[in-house]
């Protein structure tokens, strides 16, 4: 399983959308986590469906602030557990059971990175 996590700082901008498409094309992640999407729920759903991710769990942005989402393709089975203001918790069923909590503040503080691909 490959995971892409990114603080995109707004997918409404053309550069961020192109960068996301490029990251997905290069790394082919099974699961994508984004924070600071700054897009409505329907816009995110349409964008990720076009990118090949038919499933997602999200906390939409409020106006032009915030927004968290986890999207996944058909290669893995994901069960969203909870969505709160600062995190999305999921169980990922692969060859082994993985429980993930996506919290952008914690990830940034512990890893000190802006873009990550695991897998």
User: Which residue, among 29, 30, 38, has the nearest Cα to 7 in the 3D structure?
Assistant: 38
Q: What pLDDT is recorded for position 31? A: 92
Question: Is the whole-model pTM more than 0.85?
Answer: no
88-93 and 77-83 strand pairing: antiparallel
Q: How sure is the predictor about 109, in pLDDT bands with cuts at 50, 70 and 90? A: very low
Does position 35 have pLDDT exceeding 70, yes or no? Answer: yes
Q: How sure is the predictor about 29, in pLDDT bands with cuts at 50, 70 and 90? A: very high
Q: What is the mean pLDDT of residues 11-23?
A: 88
Coil/strand/helix, residue 40 = coil
Q: What pLDDT is recorded for position 7? A: 87
Using CA atoms, how far apart are residues 14 and 109, in angstroms rounded to an integer?
A: 27
Structure tokens at 67: 């927004």
More confident residue, 106 or 16: 16
Q: What is the mean pLDDT of residues 45-59?
A: 92
**Do you know the residue count of the chain?**
119
Q: What pLDDT is recorded for position 50? A: 93
């Amino acid at each position: 399983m490959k995971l892409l996590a990114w603080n995109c700082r707004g997918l409404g901008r053309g550069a961020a959308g192109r960068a996301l498409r490029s990251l997905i094309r290069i790394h082919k992640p099974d699961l994508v986590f984004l924070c600071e999407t700054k897009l409505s729920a329907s816009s995110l759903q349409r964008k990720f469906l076009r990118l090949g991710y038919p499933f997602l769990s999200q906390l939409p942005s409020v106006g032009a602030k915030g927004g968290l989402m986890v999207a996944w393709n058909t290669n893995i089975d994901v069960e969203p557990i909870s969505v709160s203001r600062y995190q999305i918790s999921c169980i990922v069923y692969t060859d082994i059971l993985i429980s993930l909590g996506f919290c952008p503040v914690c990830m940034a503080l512990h890893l000190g990175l802006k873009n990550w691909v695991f897998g």
